[in-house]
Structure formats: C-alpha cells, structure tokens
Amino acid sequence: MKSIIIGGGKIGYYLLKTLSERGYGVVLVEKDENSCRRISEDINARVICGDGSDLDVLRDAGIDEAEIVAAVTGKDEENLVICEIAKAAFNIRKTIARVNNPKNISMFKALGVDQTVCSTEVIANLIEYEFDAESCRIIQTFDLGSMVLAETLIGGENRWQGRRVGELELPPECVLASVLRGEEVIYPRGDTEIREGDRGIFVTSQATLPKIKKSLQTGANRHASKKK
C-alpha cells in the first residue's frame, strides 16, 4: 500500500520521517523547491516538487496506486481541495486533512473528507492502522485526535477470540462498546463470549491504542481451547 503526503512543512516533514522509519511506502509533494531539497537530504524517501492540487503532479506521485492521501499544508482551503480532488478524480479510499481552524472540521466532514486531525502522531497512526486494518482500524477520532473509536475483526491470531469479555484485561483507558455479530449488535457483559467473525468496537486513547494492537496479535493460541 502507498500513501501520499501533500505539504512539506513541519507536520509533513515529521509525518514522512515517521512513516518511512516504520517501513511504509510514502511519497511527499511540496511546492517549495528549497523545502524539497532539504527534506530529500534529511529523509530517504521520494519527494516531488509541485502543487498537490495538480492532477499531473499527483499522477507523478503515484496516486493511481495510492490508498491514502494526507493533505497537511498550512492552509485549510488547500487541504480541502486536495482531498476533494483525490476522491473525485482518483477514487482514493481514505483522505486525511490537517485542520488548522477547528471551526472548519464540520465543513470538511460534510464535504466528504474522511478524517480531520491536527497532530502529526495522530495522522501517522491513522495511516499505519489503515495499512494494518485486518488487526485493528480506526473508525473515528474525538477530542482533537486524543481519543479514538476503533474496530478489531475477531479471527486468525486475534487474542480476543474464544474469550469472555471479563477475561480481556483491558487497560483503564479502553472500553469495549459493542460486539457486532453479523447483523446483531451485542452490548457486552462480563460473560459475553467473543467468537470468530465478530467485530469488537472499542473506545480508547491514542496513547493506549498501540498497546492494544500489540496485545491483540499475541498469545492467540493460548486461549484457543476456551471456545464453546
């Protein structure tokens, strides 16, 4: 999977650095030649000098193969236009926009932007969890990105499979809100068993999410015998 970052300011720079260090395919598009040169010297990643709202520039960045576009320029109107172009012209599955003015958040969402956030780390995590959606994916963010609503699909190596809710040992910052079983919505109690094919919906903090993701992927075999 590939992601494209539009905007090479502080957020774009650190976002490119973070995702590159985590081993993800990522390309940065930035208008300013000096910024492009500086970023290219500092980070071993592809940097394209150009306007992120230009269709040819986006094609050069590989948008036809991209899954995610993150518009993180310093201007809200530019970020909105870029996200709309990515959706309308290239059918990008996921668009993420930096919002500098919180008053614009509702407008961005009304016009089809999938996620609106401010923090570099929040954006990096959103992209990473989209890449690893089979384990855990973010559905929505709250409180300027500090809290998330996330989903995990039960099956395979997922540690929750075959366990009861009371056995999950969730951290204090995590609440299991519901279990989706086909068309049925289950409001979990301590004795609710989580089965293969279920989807667990939970609320947690951004800081706790990586720990939950890690715990979901380990120790699955140890609990396999607890199925009904």
Q: Residue 37 maps to which CATH number?
A: 3.40.50.720
Local structure of residue 185 (DSSP, 8 states): E
CB 9, CB 98: distance < 8 Å = no
Rounded distance, CA 103 to CA 5, Å? 23
Q: Quick check: is 138 in a domain?
A: no
What is the average per-residue pLDDT within 201-219? Answer: 79
Residue 125 lies in domain: 2-131
Domain boundary among 80, 110, 131: 131
CATH number at residue 216: 3.30.70.1450
- HEC assignment per residue over 101-138: CHHHHHHHHHCCCCEEECCHHHHHHHHHHHHCCCCCEE
Residue 78 has pLDDT above 90, yes or no: yes
Confidence of residue 223 (pLDDT cuts 50, 70, 90): very low
Confidence of residue 181 (pLDDT cuts 50, 70, 90): very high
- Domain count of the fold of the chain: 2
Domain boundary among 111, 131, 151: 131
Of residues 205 and 134, which shows the higher confidence score? 205
Rounded distance, CA 121 to CA 138, Å? 14
The reply to whether 120 and 98 lie within a common domain is yes
Q: Quick check: is 136 in a domain?
A: no
How much is the pLDDT for 87? 94
The reply to whether 108 and 170 lie within a common domain is no
Of residues 122 and 89, which shows the higher confidence score? 89
The reply to whether 9 and 122 lie within a common domain is yes
Domain boundary among 96, 131, 166: 131
For 119-170, the pLDDT digits (tens) are: 555 666 667 666 555 567 777 776 656 788 888 888 877 888 899 999 988 8
Residue 204 has pLDDT above 70, yes or no: yes
What is the average per-residue pLDDT within 182-206? Answer: 90
How much is the pLDDT for 59? 96
The reply to whether 126 and 197 lie within a common domain is no
Q: What pTM value is reported for the model?
A: 0.59
- CB-side neighbour CA atoms (13 Å) of 23: 2
What is the average per-residue pLDDT within 199-223? Answer: 73
How much is the pLDDT for 143? 61
Q: Which phi and psi (to 5°) does residue 171 adopt? A: -65, 160
The reply to whether 167 and 115 lie within a common domain is no
The reply to whether 100 and 148 lie within a common domain is no
